[in-house]
A and B are shown apart, each in its own frame.
Chain A
Amino acid sequence: MALLVLRRLVQTALILLGVAAITFLLLYALPADPARMIAGRSATAQTVANIRRELGLDQPLLVQFWAYLQGIVHGDLGRSYAQKTDVGSLIAARIPATLVLMAAGILVEVLLGLTFGIIAALRRGGAVDRVVMMASFVGVSAPQFVVALLLLYVFAVTLGWFPMSGFGTPAHVVLPAATLGILGAGWYARMVRSAMIDVLNQDYVRTARAKGLSSARIILRHALPNAMLPIIAMIGIDIGQFMGGVVVVEAVYGWPGIGQLAWQAIQQVDIPIIMGVTLVSALAIVLGNLVADIIAPLIDPRIRAR
Chain B
Amino acid sequence: MRVLKAMLRQPAALFGLIVVVAVMAMAIAAPLIAPYSPDNQMFDGLTLEGAPMPPSEQFLLGTDTLGRDLFSRLLFGARTSLVIGLVANGIAVAIGLFIGILSGYLRGIVGNLLMRFTDLMMAFPALLLAIVLAALLRPSLWIVAMVIALVNWVQVARIVYTETRGLVERDFILAERSLGAGHFRILFMHILPHLMPTAIVWGTLGIATTVLLEATLSFLGIGVQPPQPSWGNIIFESQSYFQAAPWLVFFPGAIILLTALSFNLVGDALRDILDPTQRGRG
Binding site for B on A (CB under 8 A): 15-16, 18-19, 22-23, 26-27, 30-32, 134, 137-138, 140-146, 149-150, 153, 157, 190-191, 193-195, 240, 243-245, 247-248, 251, 262-263, 266-267, 269, 274, 277-278, 281-282, 285-286
- CA of A286 to CA of B123 in the docked complex: distance in angstroms? 6
Say whether A143 contacts B136, CB under 8 Å.
no
Which residues, 229 to 282 on B, are CB-close (under 8 Å) to A? 232, 235, 239, 242-243, 246, 249-250, 252-253, 256-257, 260-261, 264-265, 268, 281-282
* Closest chain B residue, CB of each to CB of A282: B123
Which of B235, B261, B265 sits near A146, CB closer than 8 Å? B235
Q: What CA separation (Å) do A269 and B12 show in the bound complex? A: 45
Q: Does B144 contact A (CB under 8 A)?
A: no
With both chains docked as a complex, state the minimum distance between the C-beta of B217 and any C-beta of chain A, in angstroms: 10
B110 at interface by CB-CB < 8 Å: no
Query: CB-CB contacts of B208-223 with A at 8 A, as 1s and 0s?
Result: 1000100110011000
CA distance A282 to B121 in the complex (A): 10
The dominant DSSP class at the B interface is: helix
User: Are A137 and B265 also in contact (CB < 8 A) when A150-B253, A193-B282, A267-B135 are?
Assistant: yes
Main secondary structure on chain A at its contact with chain B?
helix
B120 within 8 A of A: yes
What sequence of 0s and 1s flags, for each residue 98-141 of chain B, a beta carbon within 8 Å of any chain A beta carbon?
00000000000000000001011011111111011101111000
**A146–B242 CA distance with the chains assembled, in angstroms:** 11
Chain A residues near B212: list those with CB within 8 A. Answer: 141, 143
Q: Which of A31, A137, A140, A251 has the most CB of B within 10 A?
A: A137
Complex formed: what's the CA distance from A23 to B129 in Å?
8
**In the bound complex, CA of A154 to CA of B226 (Å):** 28
Interface contact A278-B216, CB-CB below 8 Å: no
Which residues of A lie under 8 Å from residue B128 when comparing CB positions? 243-244, 247, 262, 277-278, 281
The 10 closest A-B pairs by CB, nearest first: A244-B127, A146-B253, A194-B282, A281-B125, A141-B261, A141-B260, A190-B282, A18-B120, A244-B125, A30-B136
- On whether the beta carbons of B132 and A19 are closer than 8 Å, the reply is no
In the bound complex, CA of A142 to CA of B128 (Å):
19
Q: Provide a sorted-by-A list of 19 A–B residue pairs whose CB atoms are within 8 angstroms.
A: A18-B120, A19-B123, A31-B136, A137-B12, A137-B264, A141-B264, A142-B260, A143-B256, A149-B242, A149-B253, A240-B123, A247-B131, A248-B216, A262-B131, A266-B131, A266-B132, A266-B135, A274-B132, A278-B124
Given contacts A190-B282, A244-B128, contact A142 B257 (CB under 8 A): yes
B216: A residues at CB distance < 8 A: 143-145, 248
Q: Which one of A22, A140, A153, A266 contacts B243 once the chains associate, using CB atoms below 8 Å?
A: A153
Q: Give Cα A93 to B190, complex, Å.
A: 55
CA of A150 to CA of B249, assembled, Å: 8
A137 touches B261 (CB 8 A): yes
> Given that A137-B261, A146-B256, A285-B123 are contacting pairs, would A266 and B136 also be in contact in the complex, using a CB cutoff of 8 Å?
yes
Most chain-B Cβ atoms within 10 A of its Cβ — which of A26, A27, A190, A269?
Answer: A26
Q: Using Cβ atoms and an 8 Å threshold, which residues of chain A touch B257?
A: 138, 141-143, 146
Whether B250 pairs with A150 at a CB distance below 8 angstroms is yes
User: CA A63 – CA B77 in complex, angstroms?
Assistant: 45
Q: How far is the CA of A143 from the CA of B233 in the complex (A)?
A: 13
Do A15 and B256 touch (CB < 8 A)?
Answer: no
C-alpha spacing A251/B136, complex, angstroms: 18
| Interchain CA distance A16-B257 in the complex, whole Å | 35
Q: Which of B122, B128, B246, B281 has the most CB of A within 10 A?
A: B128
